[in-house]
Structure 1
C-alpha cells in the first residue's frame, strides 16, 4: 500500500467510525449504510484494502434466503472457538454495508485486528464484491425468485455467480446447497471446467421432511445441464430436494454432512438448512463438532428471523418473509405450531419499497390457503394492505364461511389489534416483508435497525 492510499484509507475509516459513533449516540439506528458510503467516496479502494488485512480471510455468505441467520450462527461458532470476527450483523449487504462493517472493526489508522470477517452479501452484487474481497470461503445457500424487478430469474444469477467465482483462486473453499439444482450444477461446472478442488455440498437426507406435494413456488425443476424435467424423489422446500435427470444423469451430489446427525436452530426446515450450512463451513475452517453443537444449542435468533419478543404481556415471534418460498415456509412453520397449540392470530405486513421489491405479484405464488385453513384470525397491514387482503379473500375455498380477516392500514393499530385477538397462552406470529419488519421492530422495541 503506497503512502497516499494509506492516508486516504485512514481518513475514510476515521470518517466512517465517527459517523457510526454519532448515529449510535443520537440513537438514529445501527449506522450500517451511510458510514460506508462516505468512506467509499474518500477511498474507492477501501473494501479491498481492509479485507486483505483480515488474518484468516473473508467468508462470503450469499443466497436468497437465510443469509443473516446463517452468518450469525457461523460467527458465534467461530467466537466460541476464540476467534475475533468482523461481521455485517445488521444485514446491510450491499457494498456500503460491507465497508461499514469492516471500518467498524478497524482502528482510526485503518488497521483491522480480526481473524475472520463474515460478510453476507446481496446475491446481485456477488460478481462485483468478490473480486475486491478475494474470499477464503464462499457459502451459497440457495437461489429462489426474489424481487424480479431487480434481479431477474434464478438461472441468470446462477450463471453470473459461476462466471465470477471461476475467476478466483482455485484454493477458495466453495460450499453449496446440493439440494438446489442450480447450485449443484454450479459446483459440478467448477470441478469439471475450472478443476476446483475445494467444493463441498450440504443438504438434507431426511425423506420424512418431504412436502406432501410440489409447491407452487418452484423455480428450478428442469435440468440445468440439458433442460430435461428433473425427477424428484421428494421436495424439502420449493425446488430443493432429492433429484436426478433421467436424460443426462445429472443428480444431487454427494453431501459433506449427514443432516440426520445434526440438531437445528429455531423452527422450520429452512433453519435446518441454515444450521447445516454454518456447520459445514465451520468444519472446513477447522472447528470441531463439539464446539459447533454447543453453539447451535445456545443460539438466539437474529432480528426478525424467528426472533421472539414479549410485548404487553404477549409473546411475539417475527418471521421475515420477502418472497414466495420464504412465506410458504413461514406458513408451514406457523401451521405446525398452531396444529399443536391451537388456532391463533397471524399478522401479515406487506410493503413494496426498494428493500422489499416493488413488484408484489409474488404473493399470488404463496400458498395462502394453508394459512387460511388454520381458522385463526388474520390481520393485514402495510403499504399494500389491500393487495394482501384480496389475496387472503381469494384463498378461501368457501366464501360463505369466511376467515376472520381484519384490515388495518395503520401498522401500529394493526399490531394492537393482533395482540388483542391473540389468546394469552398463544404466540402472535408477525410475517412482514423487509422494510415492514424494521417498522414492526421499531414499534415493539422502540429502536430502529437502520
Structure 2
C-alpha cells in the first residue's frame, strides 16, 4: 500500500469516526489521495462525470424517487390503505397485517424504505395506537420491519445503484427481487398472526359484502403501476430507465388529473424533495465511483480478489462469510458505506469465484436492509422513532422477532439461489 493510500485510509477512518456525511467523506478522501499521490484532482472529477453520464441507469434513480414523492403527496396511499384494510384487516393482528401488505404494494411503486416508513407507515402507526389497540413500540416495529421490503420488490433504488457498480442487468435484478420480497412479507404476516393470538391483538371488523370489490376498483390505478412497469420492461416496450419516466408520468396522471387529490403546489413540493434526495444519492454514487477508481489504481481490488480466491471456499461458504462480515459492519455503519465502498470493492473477487452477480445483489441488499433495523445503528428505527415520537429502545426490542425472521429469509435465499434466479432465468 502506497503512502498516499495510507494517508487516505487514515483520513477516511477519522472522518467516519466523527460521523461526517459519507458522500463528502468519500469525495474528500479521494482529494486527499490525489494530492498525496500527485494525481490531478480535476481529472478525477472528469472521470466521475463521464462515468455517470455514460451509464443511463442512473437517470432512473431520480425518476423513481420523484414517483414515490408524487404518490405520497397525491393521496394515493389513502386508496391503497383502504384496499389493504378490506383485504386483510379482519385477519389476526389486523392493522399489523395491513401495515405489511401496504408495504408490499407500496414497494412496487417507490423502491425506497424511507418513503414507505415516513409516508403510509406513519399513518398506520397512528391507527394502531388509537385506543391503545397495539403497544406504540410494536406499531413502530412492524412499520420498520415491513419497510425493508421496499428495496427488494421492484422497482428498487438500491438495486439500481448496485446495477451501476456491478454492470448487472437492471431487468434481471428487478425480477430477482419479486420472490424474496413476497417471501419476506409472508413470513412477517405469519409472525404477526402468531403474536396476535399470543398477545391478544385485536382484529378489524370483517368488511361488508362488496367492500373489497369497491376498494379494489378505487385503488386499481395505483395497483396497476407495477404491472405496467414490469410488463413494459419485460415485453421490450421500454427500458428500465424509460419505465422510471413512465412511472413518474403515471403518478402525475393519477394524482393531479384523475383523482384531483394533488395541487400543483404539492407537485412542486414533491419535485423539490425529489431533487434534494436525488442530490444526496448522486453525491454517494460519485464518491463511490471515485473511491473505487482509487482502489483499482492502488490494486486494492486486485488484492481482495486474490485473497478471496486463495480462501478456496465453496460459493455457499463464501456468501456466508460475506453475510457475517456485513452483519458485523451493519452494527456500526450505515448502509451507505457498505453499498458504495465495500460492495464495489468485493464484487470483482466474488464474480471471479463464481458468484452470480444478480443473486449476490439481492441477498446483499436484503442484508443491508436488515442492518437498518438492527441495533445499535438501526437507522430506520431512529427515523421512525423520531417521526412517531416513540423511544427507540422499546422499538428495538419489539423488532427482534422480525429481525430473526428476516435473517431466516436471507439464509434461505442464499442457500437456495433458485428462489432468486428462477424468474430472471425464466425471462431470459
Same fold (TM over 0.5): no
TM-score (norm 1): 0.28
TM value normalised by structure 2: 0.29
Specify which structure has the higher proportion of helix.
Answer: 2
- The answer to which structure has the higher strand fraction is 1
